């Protein structure tokens, strides 16, 4: 099959528009810019747009110099003007898909984005939803909004779903180096979307429907959530038995088949793993089923911050100290090592619980200099403290929540009175091990 849009993609004259310039959208702009396309970035946050126009980045792994090159080459234009969506030939939707207070899918950002596209949708455009969501969202939510224009999917415009795949902090897996799953509304939509991504991504994996692509992403994240819940539960059991779960995992992963290592922690973080499995449980309820396995995993993982606080209270109690009034330093507010992404980070739950119990809490994170506002947490106005010997010695406990590579753990242990390690970050520290506790 052929189409003018397909020809424009082939010769790279098509303009690629990305809606949502966050941790998924900006790396996607980077991939298409490197592939030789002209790109447009859309975001409803005018502060982000103004920063980008000034050549400044707000994401660690997309540096300001890179954005400056995009602007200098005149192949990137950020804007908050959604009426300009018609100027792009392909529109890739990378907006948040959070949960509401009752842990049901909150699709307001997808819906409002689709409404904005519908206002200027023109024949010949490709619309791709990348935001992680439950199967049937593209067909049942996005498609009806776009079809209100009178234009028909597969004929006048083209529609597809391709789940975002990001591994922040891992230089081996930039957006362009992770295979892209693509499912089209119809054969031509799928062909155009696959061809587009094929110009910028190392490998494209076409699937038969949009629902297969949507379900694929949910499976990936649910798989991780369930396996992390397993090791978290084993950690709590092995703690009681005096067995080091980290050493157990290290031993098990020497098996060259049938085992993949997952690691425990103070809770789940990031936009995907703590949220996406609940999209599936919600969908199951709509179909009269319960997903007990997934719900149990969610229950285990969501209780990990509380478990860490309980262990901290036990260790403080052994030293004759109550948590109320104790000085606690949280190390790491980002959800994973070496990134500046705080979304759904368990550190914020730890912070909230400690403050609620009367602890005097400060934090350090080289990637998060000031605490951002969070949707589900009452975050105090707080900046990162410098890790000086005096600061560490003044704390009743230094709680390692995120194991950033920048930390000198031997230095931390040397100067701290007590270290509570939730990540096995102090594994290689030789001196002062009597001050290290695990949770």
Do residues 368 and 340 lie in contact, with contact meaning Cβ atoms separated by under 8 Å? Answer: yes
What is the DSSP code string of 370-420? Answer: BPPPBTTB-----BPPP--HHHHHT-SEEEE-S--TT--HHHHHHH-S-EE
Tokens 């705080």 found at? 342
Residue 397 is a catalytic residue: no
Beta strands per DSSP E along 12-151: 15-19, 38-42, 76-79, 90-93, 126-129
DSSP state of 271: S
Nearest to 189 by CA among 352, 374, 6: 6
CB 179 within 8 Å of CB 204: yes
Q: How far is CA 335 from CA 25, 101, 133, 138, 205, in A?
A: 19, 21, 21, 29, 29
Q: Looking at 20-93, which runs of residues are DSSP E strands? A: 38-42, 76-79, 90-93
The DSSP code sequence of 189-236 is: HHHHHHHHHHTTSS-EEEES-HHHHHHHHHHHHHHHHHHHHHHHHHHH
Question: Cα(104)–Cα(218) distance, rounded to whole angstroms?
Answer: 15
Q: Where do we find the tokens 């528009």?
A: 17
Q: How many CB atoms are located within 10 Å of the residue 132 CB?
A: 22
Which of the following is catalytic: 94, 194, 216, 272?
A: 272
Q: What interhelical angle do 304-318 and 346-356 show, nearest 10?
A: 50
Active site residues: 272
């Amino acid at each position: 099959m052929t189409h003018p849009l397909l020809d424009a993609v082939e010769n790279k004259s098509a303009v690629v528009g990305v809606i949502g310039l966050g941790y998924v959208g900006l790396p996607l702009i980077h991939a298409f810019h490197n592939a030789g396309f002209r790109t447009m970035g859309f975001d409803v946050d005018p502060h982000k747009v103004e920063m980008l126009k000034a050549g400044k980045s707000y994401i660690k792994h997309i540096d300001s110099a890179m954005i400056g090159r995009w602007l200098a080459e005149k192949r990137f234009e950020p804007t908050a003007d959604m009426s300009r969506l018609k100027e792009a030939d392909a529109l890739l939707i990378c907006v948040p898909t959070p949960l509401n207070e009752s842990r049901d899918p909150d699709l307001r950002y997808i819906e409002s984005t689709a409404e904005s596209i519908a206002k200027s949708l023109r024949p010949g455009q490709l619309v791709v939803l990348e935001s992680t969501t439950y199967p049937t969202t593209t067909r049942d939510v996005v498609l009806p909004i776009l079809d209100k224009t009178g234009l028909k999917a597969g004929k006048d415009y083209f529609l597809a779903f391709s789940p975002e795949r990001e591994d922040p902090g891992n230089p081996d897996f930039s957006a362009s180096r992770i295979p892209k799953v693509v499912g089209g509304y119809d054969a031509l939509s799928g062909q155009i979307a696959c061809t587009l991504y094929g110009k910028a991504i190392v490998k494209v994996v076409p699937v038969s429907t949009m629902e297969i692509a949507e379900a694929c992403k949910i499976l990936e994240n649910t798989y991780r959530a369930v396996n992390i819940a397993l090791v978290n539960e084993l950690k709590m059991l092995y703690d009681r038995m005096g067995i080091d779960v980290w050493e157990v995992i290290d031993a098990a992963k020497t098996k060259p088949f049938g085992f993949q290592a997952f690691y425990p922690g103070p809770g789940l973080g990031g936009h995907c793993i703590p949220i996406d499995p609940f999209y599936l449980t919600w969908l199951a309820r709509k179909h009269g089923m319960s997903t007990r396995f997934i719900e149990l995993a969610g229950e285990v993982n969501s209780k990990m911050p509380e478990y860490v606080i309980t262990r901290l209270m036990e260790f403080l109690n052994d030293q004759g100290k109550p948590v109320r009034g104790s000085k606690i330093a949280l190390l790491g507010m980002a959800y994973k090592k070496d990134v500046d992404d705080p979304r759904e980070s368990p550190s914020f739950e730890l912070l909230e619980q400690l403050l609620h119990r009367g602890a005097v809490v400060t934090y350090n994170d080289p990637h998060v200099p000031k605490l951002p506002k969070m949707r589900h947490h009452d975050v105090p106005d707080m900046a990162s403290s410098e890790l000086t010997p005096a600061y560490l010695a003044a704390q009743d406990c230094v709680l390692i929540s995120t194991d950033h590579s920048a930390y000198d753990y031997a230095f931390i242990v040397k100067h701290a009175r007590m270290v509570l390690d939730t990540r096995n970050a102090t594994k290689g520290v030789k001196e002062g091990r009597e001050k290290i506790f695990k949770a």
